[in-house]
Structure 1
């Protein structure tokens, strides 16, 4: 249950001023409510780091008290900090507490009052909240309406539509301005815009903030500088890749030498990672990061906001295509690899190319399943022939443990012969005698897969009942 909010004990001067103000205009009382209405105040502040929650709460509360003056008093308070207005009330901790209190006959309040529409609602959120409040006999008071909201009044409906559109416009305008400014700062100035330091670099001072007021407050810019411990490791990784080493071999070498991985070097900023060693994806991400060329890059993983009326997470981050990246026009920090070497690394392939420059063809892709772990066999080129294998979720970057099962390897030509025999044994001689392409089409149309182990194979349904 929420805690009742008590006013601070006023001093004599504050009390005298409040009495003088009230004497200037008579207090209004609702005749149908003895002692006036009991209000629940709701307020919200977006962020705790860039706004002052105490001051924001105070002015919102003052506006709410001016609105309810003469009609009752605020007896309980709900105030959310660090919650976006785009979140529905059920996803805001204190707003959710207010909604839960509605069903309690002993809730202790008769109406809900807010200090500003944009602080409490986004878009048409209020239209779904008012029927819920009315079902429990609770009123909604808005300062923009100078009192209680009544959906039966056409003017109130028009007001709510206008306020909803205005709150959306404010959010979109602020976001658009912020993103445009960040794009220009990254592209034209190469400015570091925050985040975790890139592996191989450390953050150093880059001078005072260009905004005079921020500089007066002591804010300073930062930039990347090569880290004496990890920068040589990054250079070594790029050099090995240029020599044609596979990513798996690089990872295995790093782990064998006991080189700390990024999450081990900076565990405070990588609490979401296990820190158990280098992984394939870690090295791949490092080799594809343009920032190692000395250029600043922004918008590699932008945030995507789900519309308020659709289900799903409020905000998600997805990798953007290369064409959407914003790269600084000039070098912004010392490079760990030249631009020519970086581009060359992107074209390195550790797999031998087919003789004659032809294309490799794997006809049984997706039709073979491991009988030990249930995974699909992946295609691989073995001694000039198409083949398939299952490493049971492991890779060549991790050493083989004593309990690890042997990899499953099958050649495509031999597997086609096995499949023909399995079809004949199951009464499908007509299909077994057809060309390979017709056999493959038959398996796919009937949603059949071949389960393989080291000793036997069998045909079964892809999704058994």
Structure 2
């Protein structure tokens, strides 16, 4: 039979192989002519940066096509990228779109096929989805079941439970191995494990990768080296803090001198930040980062995963306590501050510490009448006071914005007494007693420059 070159979809060689060895291609050829089931293929790749999407898609699609060969053909495709299997189907864009088509009478497919169970489901996800499949008359085909899943078959239900537990175990085992390996690399080798370079440092070559295959592919290790432009700024920040300066005054001087903030100095890696000015949290983060001592520090902000059956974000990051950090046993890059000075900086307090006789009885009970924020406590001319900076900080110059609200505690006590219709003698006891009364009656004080009012406390 002559070969049709005008419809050469697979290529001349492939058409010849079809004709010369039809048996080897029987499954593929029959898939187009035998069976009327219309399938929607679903697949997933978890990390686009560390997995090749095309290869992962290809083998999953091939496995699905081999399963449905002779029964029908794949007419639709849904493939999620950079989505963990731990995410429920409604939280994966392509999986959610597939589920959304179930109720459509014109959806165009009769069944869903996946190339591998672990790529599609984790834990008890499938058990919770099966009623939805059954309600809309959509079959689910699994390679592990050698065809359509029969929920009425006890062996199939047991298979689903076994595959779900195995998929969950695979995730947990892989994460534990990776975390333990990274912990050892940071502690014993002081290895740089990735991420944006620390402000004050730049990344330089640290030799070939210790894994022979990675080294063969040209991968190299990296380490920190002082940046000649930004390292002096970090040293100056630590020196000023050791002198007892407040974080806000350090940030204000940096802004006033026009020193580029970290996100401005490295815009390529900080496009998600404004890069406009130094803030209190930026200076504080530098002062609290132990990597400036020359040691590698890992696990300062670990990831936490919310179980699928609980509400909340799937993945969050929170600051870990210092005793949970993983610190290298030796100094692995040039320090910008000595360990003695770093520890001393952590003890510097520009504001009054607990136990110095300064007390603020009305903390948490005062709201700004202009912006609605809580007033923060401050010590003013030997007296307890409260203020609101309307979302601004002392690190930024006060130009063209509403002036800060300052109120002394003794003046507030007199105003609150008048609002409550009470009188008392001793000021010290009055402040504490009024605070107790406000909390018992669930009231807050709305503060303005001219007057104050009482309002019910809104539940958090």
**Which TM-score applies when normalising by structure 1?**
0.89
Q: What's the CA shift for 1:110?
A: 1.7
C-alpha distance in 1 between matches for 2:410 and 2:26: 99
| Aligned-partner SS, 1:179 | helix
2:4 maps to which residue?
A: none
| Aligned-partner SS, 1:83 | coil
Equivalent residue runs for 1:33-432 within 5 Å: 35-351=35-351, 358-401=356-399, 403-424=400-421, 428=422
Q: What's the CA shift for 1:432?
A: 11
1:448 lines up with 2:443 in the alignment: yes
Deviations 1:313-336 (Å, cap 9, x if unpaired)?
A: 221111111111111111111100
C-alpha distance in 1 between matches for 2:252 and 2:228: 23
Quickly say closer, same or farther: Cα 1:9–1:353, change in 2 above 3 A.
Answer: closer
| Aligned-partner SS, 1:416 | helix
C-alpha distance in 1 between matches for 2:51 and 2:369: 58
Quickly say closer, same or farther: Cα 1:16–1:124, change in 2 above 3 A.
Answer: farther
1:20 maps to which residue?
A: 23
| Aligned-partner SS, 1:240 | helix
| Aligned-partner SS, 1:60 | helix
Q: Structure 2: which 5+ runs fail to align? A: 1-6
The answer to whether the 8 A contact 1:183-1:326 is kept is: yes
Quickly say closer, same or farther: Cα 1:147–1:278, change in 2 above 3 A.
Answer: same
**Which TM-score applies when normalising by structure 2?**
0.90
Q: What's the CA shift for 1:373?
A: 2.8
Deviations 1:223-246 (Å, cap 9, x if unpaired)?
A: 000001000010011111111111
Quickly say closer, same or farther: Cα 1:377–1:94, change in 2 above 3 A.
Answer: closer
Q: What's the CA shift for 1:137?
A: 2.0
C-alpha distance in 2 between matches for 1:290 and 1:23: 65
Find runs of 4+ consecutive structure 1 residues off by over 4 angstroms. 22-29, 428-435
| Aligned-partner SS, 1:379 | strand
Quickly say closer, same or farther: Cα 1:405–1:161, change in 2 above 3 A.
Answer: same
The answer to whether the 8 A contact 1:201-1:230 is kept is: yes
C-alpha distance in 2 between matches for 1:18 and 1:313: 54
Q: Which moved more, 1:6-15 or 1:388-397?
A: 6-15
The answer to whether the 8 A contact 1:421-1:432 is kept is: no
| Aligned-partner SS, 2:101 | helix
C-alpha distance in 2 between matches for 1:24 and 1:78: 23
C-alpha distance in 1 between matches for 2:339 and 2:427: 56
C-alpha distance in 2 between matches for 1:97 and 1:17: 42
Structure 1 vs Structure 2 CA RMSD: 2.8
Q: What's the CA shift for 1:429?
A: 5.5
Q: Which moved more, 1:154-163 or 1:455-464?
A: 455-464
C-alpha distance in 1 between matches for 2:85 and 2:427: 66
The answer to whether the 8 A contact 2:201-2:227 is kept is: yes
Deviations 1:301-323 (Å, cap 9, x if unpaired)?
A: 11111112223222111111111
Q: Which moved more, 1:225-234 or 1:48-57?
A: 48-57
Deviations 1:198-223 (Å, cap 9, x if unpaired)?
A: 00000000000000010001000000
Q: Which moved more, 1:279-288 or 1:10-19?
A: 10-19
C-alpha distance in 2 between matches for 1:422 and 1:56: 70
C-alpha distance in 1 between matches for 2:285 and 2:313: 25
Q: What's the CA shift for 1:133?
A: 2.1
| Aligned-partner SS, 1:283 | helix
C-alpha distance in 1 between matches for 2:133 and 2:353: 69
Quickly say closer, same or farther: Cα 1:316–1:24, change in 2 above 3 A.
Answer: closer
Deviations 1:114-154 (Å, cap 9, x if unpaired)?
A: 11111111112112222222222221111111111101000
Quickly say closer, same or farther: Cα 1:344–1:64, change in 2 above 3 A.
Answer: same
C-alpha distance in 1 between matches for 2:8 and 2:325: 52
| Aligned-partner SS, 2:99 | helix
Q: What's the CA shift for 1:273?
A: 1.0
Q: What's the CA shift for 1:26?
A: 12
| Aligned-partner SS, 2:76 | strand
Q: Which moved more, 1:428-437 or 1:403-412?
A: 428-437
